[in-house]
Amino acid sequence: MVEIVLISALDGVLYGMLLFLMASGLTVIFSMMGVLNFAHASFYMLGAFFGFQISRYLGFWAGLVAAPLLVGGLGTVVERYGLRKVHRHGHVAELLFTFGLAFVIEDLVEMVWGKLPVDYRVPPSLDFPAFTIFSGNYPAFKVFELLTAIAIFAALLLVVKRTRVGLIVQAALSHPDMVGMLGHNVDRIFMLVFGVGAGLAAVAGVIAGPALVTQSNMAGLLGPILFVVVVVGGLGSLSGAFLASLLIGLVQTFAVASNASLAGAFGDLVPSGWLQAYVGDIWNVTVAQVAPILPYLLLVLILIFRPRGLMGTRES
């Protein structure tokens, strides 16, 4: 039991930190521009595939550096020559643009790498058990993922809290128009943020790719969870996104490891017979089985009871 709790906690924090690498960019983009970037998870996927391709020739570490830079550059170009042109036609046009872009990226990835998972492996230098908890080994690669995510989180925090650019970005989260009226070039800062956000998502892709499955549907699987993180965390709040990432990471990991069900908790109270047969379908569902819908349940509850999110600074 203790073993499951410990491993689930570690895995949950790791999953949460990976979510935050992506959600941080998404929430800043959302707050500054008021548009959900549907293609954000696609940058994560591109990070994984670029990392895979580079690792075949130059090794994993080269991929870890080069793939995020490439994807970050691509994000900058997408913002400058795509999103900015579409911006003047309003939010719906922007939404459709990023929506379409996600499909384009997915199809391009399928054209180049196919639909099947690619063989993106943990580098040999990190392919050993880091430590043993009771009977189970905890892989070194997961420890590396966690440390990388924490290091990037610390660097991000430093830039946002201690630099002039960070100050302007923070201000633009609440009143982007006012930042422009005070003489700051919001367009250029937004382009930078978009590029950095894409790059961070790509970092997540490179370090998650070998541990999970690097496949053309990985963006589609992850994208909706990111939106949950952003909404639950609250618009305009990086700390909110951080909290929500950890929360969803932990909830999902613990839920998957739990065999509890309504029948297990209250089974003895209900007499056997027709009633039990009637409700049995719901009665016997385990928490592990409903784990995938828990984040969305959380989303619905937050929207009903606290529409501005856990730490949001604005309503819309």
Partner 1 sequence: MLEVRDLHAYYGKSHILQGVNITVGDNEIVSILGRNGVGRSTTLKAIMGDPPPRGEIIFEGRPIAGLKPYEIARLGIGYVPEERAIFPTLTVTQNLLMGVKNGQKARRWSLDETWRLFPQLLARADAPGGALSGGEQQMLTICRTLMGDPNLIMIDEPTEGLAPQMVERIGELLQEIARRGISILLVEQRLVIALRISHRIYVMGHGRIVFEGTSAELMANTSVRREWLEV
Per CB under 8 A, contacts with partner 1 among 186-205 are 186-187
Torsion angle of C-alpha atoms 62, 159, 199, 97, degrees rounded to 10: -170
Tokens 């956000």 — which residue? 197
CB-wise, 183 or 273, nearer to partner 1?
A: 183
Burial environment of residue 123 by CB neighbours within 10 A (0 to 12, 13 to 18, 19 or more): middle
CB-wise, 56 or 188, nearer to partner 1?
A: 188
Per CB under 8 A, contacts with partner 1 among 29-48 are none
Judged by CB under 8 A, which stretch of 25-33, 48-56, 184-192, 294-302 contacts partner 1?
Answer: 184-192
Q: Is the dihedral of CA 218, 223, 224, 225 positive or negative?
A: positive
Integer Cα distance of 12 and 252 in angstroms? 7
CB-wise, 150 or 167, nearer to partner 1?
A: 167
DSSP for 91-160?
Answer: HHHHHHHHHHHHHHHHHHHHHHH-SSPP-----GGG-SEEEEETTEEEEHHHHHHHHHHHHHHHHHHHHH
Per CB under 8 A, contacts with partner 1 among 90-119 are none
Binding residue for partner 1 (CB under 8 A) from 183, 273, 304, 315? Answer: 183
Q: b/e map of 178-208 (b: 16 or more CB within 10 Å)?
A: ebeeeebebeebbbbbbbbbbbbbbbbbbbb
Taking the complex as a whole, the smallest distance from the CB of residue 170 to partner 1 amounts, in Å, to 6
Taking the complex as a whole, the smallest distance from the CB of residue 160 to partner 1 amounts, in Å, to 11
CB atoms within 10 A of CB 2: 8
CB-wise, 115 or 162, nearer to partner 1?
A: 162
- What are the C-alpha distances in Å from 184 to residues 33, 35, 169, 187? 15, 21, 10, 9
The token duo for 145 is 């993922």
Taking the complex as a whole, the smallest distance from the CB of residue 77 to partner 1 amounts, in Å, to 21
CB-wise, 62 or 182, nearer to partner 1?
A: 182
CB-wise, 142 or 184, nearer to partner 1?
A: 184
Per CB under 8 A, contacts with partner 1 among 223-252 are 236-237
Collapsing DSSP to helix, strand or coil, 261 comes out as strand
Under rule CB under 8 A, residue 85 binds partner 1: no
Per CB under 8 A, contacts with partner 1 among 142-181 are 164, 167-168, 170-171, 173-175, 177-181
Per CB under 8 A, contacts with partner 1 among 295-314 are 313
Taking the complex as a whole, the smallest distance from the CB of residue 92 to partner 1 amounts, in Å, to 15
Taking the complex as a whole, the smallest distance from the CB of residue 156 to partner 1 amounts, in Å, to 16
Integer Cα distance of 294 and 296 in angstroms? 5
Integer Cα distance of 223 and 189 in angstroms? 24
CB-wise, 183 or 271, nearer to partner 1?
A: 183
Count of residues that bind partner 1 according to CB under 8 A: 22
CB-wise, 85 or 175, nearer to partner 1?
A: 175
Under rule CB under 8 A, residue 184 binds partner 1: yes
Under rule CB under 8 A, residue 282 binds partner 1: no
First to last CA, the chain: 43
Identify residue 2 by its one-letter amino acid code: V
Q: Which residues bind partner 1 (CB under 8 A)?
A: 164, 167-168, 170-171, 173-175, 177-187, 236-237, 313
